[in-house]
Amino acid sequence: MLLRDVSINRLVDKKKGTINPIIFSDPDIYQQELELIFARMWLFVGHESQIPNPGDFVRSRMGEEQVIVTRGRDQQVYVLLNSCAHRGNMVCRYDQGNALAFQCSFHGWTYNSTGALVNLPPGSEEAYAPDLRKEEWGLLRARVELFNGTIWATWDHSAPSLVDYFGGSEIYMVPPLLDAEGEDSGTEVLGTVMRWRVGMNWKLPMPDNDTTHFRITHRSALAVRRQYQDDGPRPPRPRQNYHVWFPEGHTTTMSLEDVGDEVLLGNDDPVVNEYLRERYETRKKRLGKLAYRMELPHIFPNMGAVGRCVRVLHPQGPTETEMWSWFLVDKNAPAEIKAAFARGEELARGPGGMIQKDDMENWAIQTQYSKYHMTRTRLTFNAQLGLSQASLHGPTSFGLPGMFDSSPTDANIRGFYYRWADVMAAKDWGELRIDNPAR
């Protein structure tokens, strides 16, 4: 069954601000997402610091499938489907390493770092001739673009450029990708990528930057934090809080109050705070009013973020998702600062972290319930908070990209799911380009 146009638009009702629960478990909708979303959109696949030298590679995912992210002899980054062009076997079986060639373990077809087929099993080259032309049998190669150290790929060669795809949200991506002094290429991935599976639909944590859930879902974590923070000064809570969304489906949150370094220094660790404080003046000179930001935006379809941690949601079936986290840290920071960053991230944002596991329980239950008869046939999910309040156009109102809605609001949820519906209904990129960008 193909759901298109009218059907999809009924599943996400833009007039009412409602979402049909079946989009979180229906196998037909999921199959269409693999083609219409994961085979067409730009996807985050890694960070350049993971593959600094020619031959370095890491495995990553695009949608359900594995890709090899590698640096060739020419220093270029290549993203290759980890599926042999001969008969589909996995070509690379290691998570990371250094290799300028990948030999398939089935019949020995061998590919170089650009994905080109360079060697056939001994004696077979003559037997294949004249039918097999090697240049036509390389690994499937994605289109790749880099942004401040991050690596992105798409299977769709008609997709817009990466920056056009970001639609202005890249302004908010830059500050957390710079180091504490605002230095370009100053960040690296800390350790290896953390990965775990949750029995949930991949969309449910997108977006996770709706501030309305925080004080309820994470109440116990906040209580613990308050307990051990009682003696120290607490950063002021900004009053002018906005949810910022883009017609392209990207979202973030933003304070327009000039709270300066107090927001940046909201880290619980005094050693980290001291490190950031010492560098803040330099950072402010370089970045101006966005200097305090250490929060990456969410990028449609599946790059979420918590602070400086990139969190990507890889679908593994309609009700199964693999979560991958890349923790970014200042490349030139002393080892004790990196260790302190790591401790903070693990305590809060790892799979057993105090914040992350609160969310995961809700998402898994939502997924399960979206399969139950009464929920899927009688309920619609509500995203009406602030629906009748007009969004402010960021560029004309504040000189900043994005559409602004004051908190509390479901504007970010609507921004994501309205784009999801548009992408699922569009035949090609010609129908998806945004005429009135919020940049």
Residues that bind ligand FES (CB under 6 A): 84, 86-87, 89, 104, 106-109
What minimum distance in Å lies between the beta carbon of 189 and ligand FES? 30
Given ligand FES, Fe ion, none, residue 86, with its beta carbon under 5 to 8 Å by kind, binds ligand FES
What minimum distance in Å lies between the beta carbon of 216 and Fe ion? 10
What minimum distance in Å lies between the beta carbon of 54 and ligand FES? 24
Given ligand FES, Fe ion, none, residue 343, with its beta carbon under 5 to 8 Å by kind, binds none
Nearer to ligand FES, 106 or 372 (CB): 106
What minimum distance in Å lies between the beta carbon of 88 and ligand FES? 6
Given Fe ion, ligand FES, none, residue 206, with its beta carbon under 5 to 8 Å by kind, binds none
What minimum distance in Å lies between the beta carbon of 110 and ligand FES? 9
Nearer to ligand FES, 122 or 430 (CB): 122
Tokens coding 155: 């299977």
Given Fe ion, ligand FES, none, residue 376, with its beta carbon under 5 to 8 Å by kind, binds none
Nearer to Fe ion, 33 or 359 (CB): 359
What minimum distance in Å lies between the beta carbon of 309 and Fe ion? 13
Give the residue among 269, 254, 267, 60 at the shortest CA–CA distance from 175: 254
Q: Is 359 helix (H, G, I), strand (E, B) or coil?
A: helix
Nearer to ligand FES, 125 or 257 (CB): 125
Is 210 a binding residue for Fe ion by CB under 5 A? The answer is no
Given ligand FES, Fe ion, none, residue 84, with its beta carbon under 5 to 8 Å by kind, binds ligand FES
* φ, ψ (nearest 5 deg) of residue 7: -60, -50
Nearer to Fe ion, 170 or 359 (CB): 359
Name the residue with the smallest CB distance to Fe ion: 359
- At 32, which helix (H) or strand (E)? helix 27-36
Binding region for Fe ion (CB under 5 A) out of 47-55, 268-276, 358-366, 387-395? 358-366
What minimum distance in Å lies between the beta carbon of 138 and ligand FES? 12
Nearer to Fe ion, 222 or 271 (CB): 222
Given Fe ion, ligand FES, none, residue 141, with its beta carbon under 5 to 8 Å by kind, binds none
When binding is defined by CB under 5 A, the residue of 330, 359, 405, 410 that contacts Fe ion is 359
Nearer to Fe ion, 11 or 306 (CB): 306
Tokens coding 431: 């129908």
Given Fe ion, ligand FES, none, residue 410, with its beta carbon under 5 to 8 Å by kind, binds none
What minimum distance in Å lies between the beta carbon of 107 and ligand FES? 3
Which residue ranges make up the site for Fe ion (CB under 5 A)?
359
